[in-house]
């Protein structure tokens, strides 16, 4: 089972988590305000496969995780399709503007599973 850490600047992410779980993944939602800045730390603790960060710019948490831990990231995304492309390009940390949508979590996990051949 793949593990996806979801970290939202405003402490949200529950809808994305529902999509992750619907696709067969384990979702870990980082609680509290400013959660996006703890994305990489929680990914390390959970030994996560993927991380999804949400903030206004779509970059802070993803860039912090990449800088601190070396995760391949893409940030500034605003659509599910951009996230799918990033997964197919080998990125494991995805930075989005505020998009707490079940479809995002579901399609990201489905794409990742297809890419790794599960």
Between the CA atoms of 21, 90, 8 and 32, what dihedral angle is there, to the nearest 10 degrees?
Answer: 80
Pairing of strands 73-77, 93-96: parallel
20-24, 48-52, 53-57, 64-68: which range is least confident on average?
53-57
Condensed to tens digits (0 to 9), the pLDDT of residues 61-118 reads 999 999 999 999 999 999 999 999 999 999 999 999 999 999 999 999 999 999 998 6
The helix or strand, by DSSP H or E, that contains position 42, with its residue range, turns out to be helix 39-46
**Domains, in order of start, for the chain:** 3-117 (3.40.1400.10)
Helix (H/G/I), strand (E/B), else coil: 73: strand
Q: Could you tell me the pLDDT band of residue 11, with boundaries at 50, 70 and 90? A: confident
Mean pLDDT value of segment 36-49: 97
Tell me 35's DSSP state.
G
Q: What is the pLDDT of residue 56?
A: 86
């Amino acid at each position: 089972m793949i593990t996806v850490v979801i970290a939202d600047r405003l402490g949200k992410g529950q809808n994305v988590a529902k999509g992750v779980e619907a696709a067969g993944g384990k979702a870990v939602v980082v609680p509290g305000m400013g959660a996006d800045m703890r994305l990489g730390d929680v990914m390390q603790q959970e030994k996560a496969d993927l991380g999804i960060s949400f903030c206004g710019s779509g970059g802070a948490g993803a860039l912090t995780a990449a800088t601190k831990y070396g995760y391949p990231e893409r940030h500034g995304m605003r659509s599910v399709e951009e996230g799918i492309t990033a997964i197919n390009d080998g990125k494991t940390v995805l930075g989005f503007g505020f998009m707490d949508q079940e479809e995002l979590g579901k399609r990201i996990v489905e794409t990742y599973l297809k890419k790794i051949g599960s």
